[in-house]
């Protein structure tokens, strides 16, 4: 069982990073998804395109952007260092940020589509029936949209689990600290440890399949209301 230990450590780290990244992506993705679906403002489609960018850009480019922002001399990084003595680079928190940025568009797309698919007359009906804006959101909008939002969040989770490029650039590959499953696979192959690589690959595949099956189950509109 000894050889399982490093894999187990990497898996736990990957799950921790993916959970936090998904949570962050979920909050921002749902909020921006709602904004894009419901508010009319100038530059709406441009904002959508900008927010979707992390999905299509090479992860190395994203990693570079992140270094520019949260790196030691980065815009936010320098400020954090100066005022709080916090350094994000080469920490698991940096891996969370990288994964969250990459996974965010998946929640955004799912949430926007989910909110757009709701007939606005339902919300209007609820208002006329005496509900406050918050109550309308909690009693009508959310119950009708949550499947789409959650489906997006599960895809985001799967994407976070598989994040490699941007993570490597901002968090590095420190075993037990920032070496996630996907990075551990790379290191194992590089080092010629094929058995270890096989194990890591199988674990990663199983986790991703489980998440995708769950995401498919939640995909809305196949049998939406029963």
Partner 1 sequence: MQISLDISKTLRSGELEFQLDARFASAAQRVVVYGPSGAGKSQMMKALAGLMTPDRGRIELTGRCLFDAATGVNVPARERNVAYLFQDYALFPHLNVRQNIGFGLQRGWRNPRAGVDGQSLNYWLHAFELEHVAHQFPHQLSGGQRQRVALARALAPQPSALLLDEPFAALDPGLRERMRVELDALQRRLEIPMLVITHDPEDVRVFGEHALYMEQGRIVEEKQT
Token pair 């196949």 is found at 222
Pick the closest to residue 75 from 85, 62, 63, 66 (CA basis): 66
Calculate ∠ Cα 36-42-48, nearest 5°. Answer: 35
Query: Smallest distance from the beta carbon of 178 to partner 1, in angstroms?
Result: 41
Dist. CA 186–CA 90, nearest whole Å: 17
- Binding partner 1 by CB under 8 A: which of 85, 130, 192, 195? 130
Q: Is 7 in the site for partner 1 (CB under 8 A)?
A: no
DSSP 3-state of 47: helix
Query: Smallest distance from the beta carbon of 117 to partner 1, in angstroms?
Result: 11
Query: Smallest distance from the beta carbon of 139 to partner 1, in angstroms?
Result: 5
Q: Is 134 in the site for partner 1 (CB under 8 A)?
A: yes
Q: Is 226 in the site for partner 1 (CB under 8 A)?
A: yes
Q: Is 224 in the site for partner 1 (CB under 8 A)?
A: yes
Cβ proximity to partner 1, 85 vs 130, nearer residue = 130
Dist. CA 116–CA 119, nearest whole Å: 8
Calculate ∠ Cα 167-172-174, nearest 5°. Answer: 125
Cβ proximity to partner 1, 176 vs 224, nearer residue = 224
Site string for partner 1, 137-176 (x = CB under 8 A): -xxx--xx--------------------------------
The percent of the chain in helix, strand and coil, each rounded to the nearest 5, is 80, 0, 20
Site size for partner 1 (CB under 8 A):
22
- Binding partner 1 by CB under 8 A: which of 121, 192, 195, 222? 121
């Amino acid at each position: 069982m000894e050889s399982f230990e490093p894999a187990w450590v990497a898996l736990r780290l990957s799950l921790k990073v993916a959970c936090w990244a998904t949570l962050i992506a979920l909050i921002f993705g749902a909020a921006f998804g709602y904004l894009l679906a419901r508010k009319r403002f100038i530059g709406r489609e441009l904002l959508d395109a900008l927010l979707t960018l992390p999905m299509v850009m090479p992860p190395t480019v994203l990693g570079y952007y992140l270094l520019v922002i949260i790196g030691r001399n980065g815009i936010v990084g320098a400020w954090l260092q100066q005022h709080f003595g916090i350094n994000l680079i080469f920490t698991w928190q940096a891996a969370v940020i990288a994964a969250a940025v990459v996974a965010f568009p998946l929640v955004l797309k799912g949430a926007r589509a989910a909110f757009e698919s709701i007939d606005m007359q339902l919300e209007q009906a609820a208002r006329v029936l005496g509900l406050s804006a918050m109550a309308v959101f909690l009693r009508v909008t959310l119950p009708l949209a949550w499947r789409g939002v959650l489906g997006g969040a599960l895809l985001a989770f799967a994407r976070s689990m598989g994040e490699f490029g941007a993570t490597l650039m901002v968090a590095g590959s420190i075993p037990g600290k920032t070496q996630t499953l996907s990075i551990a696979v790379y290191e194992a192959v590089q080092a010629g440890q094929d058995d270890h690589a096989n194990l890591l690959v199988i674990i990663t595949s199983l986790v991703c399949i489980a998440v995708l099956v769950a995401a498919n189950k939640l995909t809305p509109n196949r049998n939406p209301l029963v």
